[in-house]
Structure formats: structure tokens, C-alpha cells
Chains A and B, each alone.
Chain A
């Protein structure tokens, strides 16, 4: 066998390491036969051997074709955890009646979204900005305002309640607007699991 073919087969075996044993054996056998047939057809110069390899495609490529059916063309994997994350975030505004619960749900939701492979980077950034960035910014601004006014003003608690209500509503509105696609998917998943 041409040395280029032997080298290719070694690469293929490595690339196929993650596949089930029987599948790996079949692929290596098929490609070995392919090379043997090419050599049987005509004597191979180095250039012709390179052409055969080039037409074959890279080992990674063949292994990718052997992997289980692509997600895009089959039923999607279960996304229970991701739905849970979106669910947590969606109820954060209501859960703010009990602030510790709301904060906890918010952190859990953000963690799920940020660490999930399923959400695009943009949605991760939006979620983190809405649930971590926005409240932090508003709290920082509030703290500064409080520092400036606390000495003068006795009615401070009521304005701060109104402010936090406003923050919660703003969070809900911003989140639903930016992530409506995800919320819709969650609603659809809930509806289909209810059936």
C-alpha cells in the first residue's frame, strides 16, 4: 500500500476513536478497500495517490458523517434543564415579593442559561445583562442617591419600594422583549408536556 494511504488510515483510526467499535472497524475496512481498489485500478504515482486522498476528504469529515444523525434534521434533544432555566427567569419578577427567593431563582436561571451549550452567545449576554447587570447598576445608583438624600428625607422607604417595583417590571419587560423566542419555546414545551 502507498505510504500516503497508510498514513491516512492511521489518522482515520485516531479520528474515529470516539465512534462505537463496530462502526470504527467498518469505516476503516471500507476506506482500506477503497485504497486497495484505487491501486488495483491503475499504478499510483505519488500525485495520483494524493488525488485519491483529496477526493476522499479528511478523516474528520468521514467520522462526522458517521456520527449519529445531525440534530438539525432529527428530533431535538431534550432541553428540560434549559426550559427550567428560562422558567426560573420568567417568574423572577413575581418571586420578588419574597426577595431572597427571587434572587435565588434569578441566579439559578442565569447560571443555567450561561453554562448551557444550547443558547447562542447573544442570548447568554442578554440574560446576564438583564438579570445581573441591570439590577446591579440600579442598586448602585440607588445606593448613591440614598447616601445623598438620607439625611434630609424621612419618606425614603416608600420611594425605594416604588423604585424596586419599577426595576422588577423593567426587568420583566426587557427580558420578555429580548428573549420572547425562548419564552415562546418554553410555553410550547409546557403545552406539549401537558398533553
Chain B
């Protein structure tokens, strides 16, 4: 109960914080569930650093609070779905770059199939009927 309350408050707080999440709680949770695969897709075959990834996800409307992507990246690292490397930047300190590992690419491939089936099924059910 306690954790669910926190999630609920977090969602409420997000709405206040960025004004970007004027969507039902269900959509927020759906987005949260698919986010890791969006990350894997962005780094499927090239290295990208955190800020770059985070701002792209944010601009695509997939995250309301950019900061919450970092714990996700850490989890992907811990689960060996991504590999990381430090690379010099032209300005400022070195940056941590992320890239999907072999397991990460496999997980993404499985998700692609499942997601495509899922969206087709949902689309068929929820789109307005032409004959109606």
C-alpha cells in the first residue's frame, strides 16, 4: 500500500512539476514499462551518453522527469543489458557512454515482436469502427 501511495503521489507531483503529464495514471505506467526498451533501441548500435539519451526521451514525450532515467540506466547496467565506456568530451569532464549489450539486443528483439503483436491487437480493439 505504502509504495503504491508513493507512486500515486509521484504521478501527482509530476503533473505539478512539468505540466507534461496530463494523462491518466494507466498511460504513465504503460510508458514506464516500455521505457527501458526505448532506451535499448536508442543505443542498439551506437554509443550515446546519458544527457543525450535523456533529452531525446524527454523530447519524444516518453519521460516527464528526465532524472528518473538515470536509475533506469543503472539498472540496465546491473542487469548486463548495456555496456558502458568512458569517453573524453571536447568540453568538460569525460562522459559515460552506453551501448546495448548482446543480451540487451536480444531483449529488444523479443520486445519488438511482442510489442508489435500487442499494438496491433490493441489498435484493432480500440480504434473507432468504420461500420458504426
A residues at B contact (CB < 8 Å): 23, 26-27, 30-31, 33-34, 36-41, 54-62, 64-67, 70-72, 117-120
Contacts and interface: CB of A to CB of B under 8 A. Distances in A.
Contacts of A71: 2-4
Contact of B68 (A37, A65, A118): A65
Nearest to A118: B1
Contact of B74 (A27, A36, A67): A27
Contacts of A38: 51
23 contacts: A26-B74, A27-B74, A30-B74, A30-B96, A33-B96, A36-B93, A37-B49, A40-B89, A54-B17, A55-B58, A56-B65, A56-B66, A57-B14, A57-B66, A58-B13, A61-B17, A61-B68, A62-B65, A62-B70, A64-B68, A65-B68, A66-B74, A72-B7
The A contact surface, by secondary structure, is helix
A118 B4 CA distance: 11
Q: How big is chain B's contact interface, by range?
A: 20 to 34
Nearest to A64: B10
B70 A117 contact: no
A38 B54 CA distance: 11
A85 B14 CA distance: 37
Contacts, number: 103
B52 to A, nearest CB: 8
Question: 6 tightest CB-CB pairs across the interface, nearest first?
Answer: A57-B65, A37-B51, A65-B68, A66-B71, A62-B67, A30-B70
Which of A41, A59, A65 has most B Cβ within 10 Å?
Answer: A65
B72 A65 contact: yes
A3 B35 CA distance: 31
Contacts of A37: 49-52, 89, 92, 95
B87 to A, nearest CB: 12
